[in-house]
Structure 1
């Protein structure tokens, strides 16, 4: 009887099971369709949109997970309200001159206008700039300035490591905090992830220092933040001294670590342009949910006296990130390269250009502009090394001179055009910096700074080997295959 009852209920159980299965299939199909519609409605680059659509169709489970982590857009998200932006602007003690008081080339006037249009970046004349291409020298200068701070220190880095250098920085900051200096620190959760770094941050917090991650990754509701990173490196001291560049707080930036030498760049700025660094830090701080910063920004009485500095420099500070409508730094790079007449010098640890940037470089080289691209022979990422190498042949065919830096890790992020435009900062020449990271660059409209950095570039060429097309084409087929495979991943690396 029990067996007969079970047999009688079997069709009913089968029907319920089938209904549940088809309900799950329909729900999942609806999810994938919704994601595809979301991808298409964002009007992205067609190739990138097609890639996500194919991933969702061919690998529904994996594709959906990857989309939630890497595919969503922050475009047009407001980092700060209009009211708070007005309050911030009104609190700044220095405003840029309403009219430029010097002659500028037509190309630079357009670049300045572009920076203002896409990033609201004001131009600030009459600054004093010191360029560093060595991490040890930069940190010696930075630590001396921090030790002299009297009012406040605002500091942000992608990486703050709990090593010899990180502990040295912490000691100085704690001493300043005990002397009544207000100290705020922003770090990137992914870049500074680790239990040892957490111990360093806890030590700083226990001594009255405000330490916050820009985005904290929490599973599963905030896993999508993994792809958005604050890659900026900037310090503001008492509102009259600023630092910006590509150097992080980690011992390898001083002694080279396993590479033996770590080649990077940064700039120390004093003068009215410091207000722009403070402005961008205040926006990041407010975006994290904290109070709006209205720290006073004042020009030091003798800011031109720093050894090795170049005076009377006109600057713009360009902030960019995934919340921007236009892709600020990407547009500036295209504009600068497209307007080149004589030379373009590039240093970057990773060369994964957009189609527009690669075309602009090729057009410049084919038009007779001296285009030089310097890459590390071996970078700190094997995948990115292979992906970057996949663009070398296309560059060489157009007449771009490609150099591999062999004296260590080349981590500098530099674009120099002609003899009066140069920018450096946190922006790499890759998709991640242009589309996913929060970045910050200083642009200097100066013959003197341009020439000084050009000389540093030429000295670096002594530690490079120039790549010839005939030699490059003889590399092993297996290596070419790895490069092509890594290139496919370049939009999400």
Structure 2
């Protein structure tokens, strides 16, 4: 074999990819420079990485999802936005009024409609969360809609499929949407869902190309009868019950009853229609009128490559900027851009108690070491950083001043902000905020604080891992 010819072809392809990155894909400058370095200095590795991570050619097709979203929400959004902007919209609790500008920003950038009659229950333990989900499934009377990044073919995964199949046999409409890459990584395949499809249920496989790491559906949503909704960080698999190699699994999800469930239902409809080409119509039976019996104001915010902005990131920044006393956030992956880092730094420098909690162990080593590096960058600004030691923390939460915050699927990294489809619930309520803050403070007793002294004395081996991981962190 003429290896010089092969090398020449690889360099030619790398040059073509470099031209595409610079002139056609309109990436941010940091990502562009990172890709150019990889393509030219690691030609063979860069070639393979670009095939799996780099291409953006499918992104334009994904904008059709946003167009459907716009058409569906247009008239409702315009009316609510006008009333909020003009101060005519009555906000049901003082926290919603206090964070009116956050609500307005999310409403305008993401058409995240505000609902105000919601009740929220918080779950930080997998066993409790799935007990609540199974109870809702058992009591369902018309339809069950589940959308998860990962549905493992393990004990919990099979239990969920069995419960769904039982309801399908009763004549209920049952739909299960999962990401092809997430399910395959978790050992799932179409055969694992045969019990459900044989019973009359339906499955949707998002983005069947498992050879693309980008543009995955990372959302975790469940809607039961249009009356009960779940959203958060838990996928479906035994490790989310603490039965995996990482030990106890600390995550956060919420159960919602109230008008916000309609927004979760709409999110499911849009994702299902896009994935399956089955056009579910907005029949009132899927969007029943109900009084949630609560006073929590909620916005369901979606992000992904079908949006030209990063609405969840923008919501995080608005919350940080609104903080006067405290900002507490938890995430397994912390690879921020300058806007996030600057917001956290400025909050800490202005006297706000800013605390960040990350895992003490990696599930993805490159991401873990990059996370440690970026988190440590904030220490000299007064941000306090902790590693959660009681297993693995997978929660994606923020709470400011114990009054407002967010729970959902979006990590604090470039992949969640730009490349994956995510969904978060932003809440404005002192009781809910106080509970999220309380859970965070309880976790501090199971955590270790990273000090500047400890970080300066880390080993050379850790420094090398951080440097390499940080170099690759902008790729995507």
Q: Please give the TM-score of this superposition, normalised by the length of structure 2.
A: 0.89
Which residue number in structure 2 is paired with residue 39 of structure 1?
21
2:397 to 414, 417, 423: 414
For residue 149 of structure 1, report the CA deviation from its aligned partner.
0.9
Shift of 1:292: 2.2
Name the residue aligned to 1:279.
Answer: 266
Map 1:34-183 to 2 at 5 A: 34-41=16-23, 42-73=25-56, 77-80=62-65, 82=67, 86=71, 99-102=89-92, 103=94, 108-183=99-174
* Kept after mapping to 1: 8 A contact 2:99/2:322: no
Evaluate the alpha carbon distance shift between residue 84 and residue 228 of structure 1 in structure 2; reply closer, same or farther with a 3 A threshold.
closer
User: Does residue 1:340 correspond to 2:323, yes or no?
Assistant: yes
Secondary structure, in 3 states, of the residue corresponding to 1:323? Answer: coil
Total equivalences in the alignment? 459
Within 5 Å, which residues of 2 pair with 1:320-331? 320-331=303-314
Moved more, 125-134 or 389-398: 389-398
Distance in 2 of aligned mates of 1:488 and 1:157: 31
Name the residue aligned to 2:86.
Answer: none
> C-alpha deviations, 1:313-368, integer Å up to 9, x for none?
00000110122101121222122222322110011111111122112111111111
User: Which residue of the partner structure matches residue 203 of structure 2?
Assistant: 211
Q: Which residue of 2 aligns with 1:268?
A: 255
Deviation at 1:297, TM superposition (A): 3.6
Retained in 2: the 8 A contact 1:75–1:325? no
Name the stretch that deviates more: 456-465 or 35-44. Answer: 35-44
Aligned partners of 1:122, 1:91: CA distance in 2, in Å? 8
CA distance in 2, matches of 1:96, 1:144: 37
- 1:446 equivalent to 2:436? Answer no
Which has the greater radius of gyration? Answer: 1
Partner of 1:423, secondary structure, is strand
Inter-partner Cα distance in structure 1 for 2:256 and 2:128: 15
Question: Could you say what secondary structure the match of 2:180 adopts?
Answer: coil
> Is the counterpart of residue 229 in structure 1 residue 221 in structure 2?
no
Aligned-partner SS, 2:222 = strand
| 1:353 matches 2:336 | yes
Secondary structure of the residue aligned to 1:230 is coil
Matched, 1:243 2:230: yes
Runs of 5+ unmatched residues, structure 2: 84-88
Contiguous gaps of at least 5 residues in structure 1: 1-16, 305-310
- In terms of mean alpha carbon deviation, does 427-436 or 199-208 score higher? 199-208
Whether the 8 Å contact between 2:176 and 2:204 is mirrored in structure 1 is: yes
The answer to whether the 8 Å contact 1:97/1:124 transfers is no
